Amino acid sequence: MDVILHLSDPHFGTELPEVTQALIELTYQEQPNLTIISGDITQRARTKQFTAAKAFTEALQSKTKVVIAGNHDIPLFNLPMRLFWPYYNYQKTFGENLEPVFESDTLLVVTVKTTRRYRHVNGELSVTQIDRVCRLLQQGKPSQLRIVVAHHPLFVNNMVDEDNVVKGRDRAIFQWAKAGADLILGGHIHLPFIIPLHQKIDELTYPLWVIQAGPAVSERMRWNAGNSVNIIRYQESSDEPRHCKVEQWDYHDQQSGFLCVAKETLKLSLATL
């Protein structure tokens, strides 16, 4: 069985040490074979913050990590850096590739960069990026759980967050669903939830799920959401319909650790589209 840890928005520079340590301990407990971090690794894209974030990711007990940048990982106040070398500190820490891909016999993870140097908060998807993700999804194997990762959300569950939806999302949703995407993971708005897009959009005939993660270890929390991460479990089987299980794990002060607070089984499309 594949065990995937999905976390987002750790915002190093605002991290809570006790929560950070508890999340590291959770990885020793659950032993994820893949960790996905969907952006806003740092608070202000400073070298010291990236150094702390790197130490944290290396401490996670996970065989593989897939990391993408968020809008906070581009300098805000250092205008020359933002204009000419926006991802310099990020790439120095996590590698040159801003849209990494991970593939195994049972998983296909395609990331897409929604941040732009000319946008302070909001995200954007170009036609070229959408088509690239489609091509990679179409090359996937029937046995694979096919995941797209973006920092900005493609769908939200609260009208107040509509302004945070990534530009270009309508084209992306329809094309990625047709190309075989199962899950779209994201962050940015610091709220955990799961949305079945095929139940929200009448024209969508393929099962496609949006899974958002809350702030993993940061003090920058919204409302009563608190610190949380997701764990996705997937096992390819010929004996039952395709599905995966998603668990929400929240940090609790009294236990000084992360506890599973919700579980949901997501029905997926047929293996061959």
Q: Residue 121, Cβ neighbours under 10 Å: how many? A: 11
Q: Which residue has the higher pLDDT, 15 or 80?
A: 15
Look at residue 77 and tell me if it is in a domain.
yes
Q: Which two tokens stand for residue 192?
A: 């955990």
CATH number of the domain that residue 193 is part of = 3.60.21.10
Task: Specify the pairing of strand 101-103 against strand 183-186.
Answer: unpaired
User: Phi and psi for 105 in degrees, rounded to 5?
Assistant: -60, -30
Per-residue pLDDT reduced to its tens digit, 231-251: 999 998 777 789 999 999 999
Look at residue 51 and tell me if it is in a domain.
yes
Find the domain containing 66 and state its range: 2-267
Is 133 within 8 Å of 172 (Cβ atoms)? yes
**Range from 4-13, 171-180, 199-208 carrying the lowest mean pLDDT:** 199-208
Q: Residue 34, Cβ neighbours under 10 Å: how many? A: 20
Mean pLDDT computed over every residue of the chain: 94
Model-level pTM?
Answer: 0.95
Q: Which two tokens stand for residue 194?
A: 């799961």
Q: Which residue has the higher pLDDT, 83 or 103?
A: 103
pLDDT at 166 (0 to 100): 97
Q: What value does the mean pLDDT take over residues 34-45?
A: 97
Task: Specify the pairing of strand 107-111 against strand 145-149.
Answer: parallel
pLDDT at 227 over 90: yes
Look at residue 24 and tell me if it is in a domain.
yes
Rounded to an integer, what distance in angstroms lies between the CA atom of residue 101 and that of residue 114?
15
273 — pLDDT class (breaks 50, 70, 90): very low
131 — pLDDT class (breaks 50, 70, 90): very high
pLDDT at 223 (0 to 100): 79
Q: Which H or E run contains 38?
A: strand 34-38
pLDDT at 200 over 80: yes
Q: What value does the mean pLDDT take over residues 87-104?
A: 97
pLDDT at 45 (0 to 100): 95
Q: Work out how many domains the chain is built from and give that number.
A: 1
Look at residue 273 and tell me if it is in a domain.
no
Look at residue 83 and tell me if it is in a domain.
yes
Look at residue 48 and tell me if it is in a domain.
yes
Per-residue pLDDT reduced to its tens digit, 54-80: 999 999 999 899 999 999 999 988 788
Look at residue 272 and tell me if it is in a domain.
no
Cα dihedral value 208, 264, 112, 12, nearest 10:
160
Look at residue 72 and tell me if it is in a domain.
yes
